[in-house]
Structure 1
Amino acid sequence: MKVDKPTFDFAEISRQIDKAEGKDKPAVDKWNPEFCGDIDMHILRDGTWMYNGTPIGRPAMVNMFATVLWKEDDKYFLKTPVEKVGIKVDDVPFHFIHVESIEDGAGPSLCFISLTGDRVIASAENPIRVVTDVVSGEPSPYLTVRFGMEGLINRSVFYELVEKANEVLIEGVPHLVIQSAGEQFVLGRVD
């Protein structure tokens, strides 16, 4: 028996989201639609969103999809009130391209801005973590966004953080540490 691939009507998805939530960020954590199958959508490590092997050229469309992104275990989905479709993500779905220093209720903070327009303050709820590749020694810095999803902090933004960091001894070893919203985040060892 042949199983049809799920269809994905971009305009209809947009109407469903608007109808369910108005123009604010959708409450995808409250939606429980049935799984409809996988579609040929792919988020590359550099933050490029692909559909059927072609980059999605409309930033507004990508931004809309980012608002309905959902993660369960290690799988990613686009979720609306009536359907859930699987997509492929190379590393993490968000890509942070800018950081600015701000003052908020928790004191001096770092606000990260993603390719999809998300603004995330590094904090206890949205920590920074850095994974160092064991072979190349290259760091990959990540920031928690929402619903267990993370974003990759791009290299130039990471270098900005390194410039602002303080050297702190941790168990007798010097590390670079950055502060935001009353929290400290380790960027890596000083070698």
Structure 2
Amino acid sequence: MKTGLENIEQHLKQQTKKPPLDLWHPELCGDIDIVIKANGDWFHDGFPIKRQSLIKLFSTILRREEDGDYYLLTPVEKWRIQVEQTALIIVDMDVVNAGQPDQKIIFTSNVDDQYTLGEKYPLTVSSVGNSNEAIPFVCLEQKLTAKLVRAVFYRLADLAVEKNGGFVVASEGLEFAIG
């Protein structure tokens, strides 16, 4: 008999693009022993998931709901997982047209998705999860967030300018406070 994890993996192998999670509302099947650690590592039954391709697949069906919990979804299954801080990690960034009015900051996540800092993907600095530490993160679809690793935050801080007693970075014509 297949486990919930094997059923999810089998269903995902048939996907060719990101699934329409906003259309899926299955009943809760239960909890599955998957934990996303604060450093972005994924664990199942206490062991690290080493296959990056599997982590990428699972990230496409991950949603945070109004109750604050995280779920892996298929059209017919919903499994609650644990997330220590944020679901994803921002591991790199690029700047297009640096210093120009049309500057864009593009972040890359630990699952190779890219997000352009702007109205759709804003930057926030606050405490997340069990931490009281101020953490910079990007707000994503499905109520998910992606924490900036320290090196990316330092690169972002290098772009900051002082404004009204604080520091901001600009992207897509908008300004974002970095603390």
TM over 0.5: yes
Unaligned runs of 5+ in 1: 1-5
Aligned length: 172
TM-score by length of 2: 0.88
The one-letter code of the counterpart of 1:65 is: F
Unaligned runs of 5+ in 2: none
Equivalent residue for 1:159, pick from 154, 163, 170: 154
The one-letter code of the counterpart of 1:187 is: I
Deviation at 1:18, TM superposition (A): 4.7
1:99 is aligned to: 93
Paired-residue identity, %? 30
CA RMSD of aligned residues (A): 2.2
Deviation at 1:30, TM superposition (A): 0.9
2:77 paired with 1:83: yes
2:37 paired with 1:53: no
Asked if structure 2 preserves the Cα contact closer than 8 Å seen for 1:102 and 1:109, the reply is: yes
Q: Which of 1 and 2 has greater Rg?
A: 1
Deviation at 1:61, TM superposition (A): 0.3
TM-score by length of 1: 0.83
Structure 1, residues 67-104: CA drift from partner, whole Å, max 9, x if none? 0001112000000111000000011101000011136x
Runs of 4+ in 1 over 4 A off after TM superposition: none
2:17 paired with 1:24: yes
Deviation at 1:13, TM superposition (A): 2.1
Structure 1 or 2: more strand by fraction = 1
Give me the whole-angstrom Cα distance separating, in 2, the residues matched to 1:18 and 1:32. Answer: 20
Deviation at 1:132, TM superposition (A): 6.4
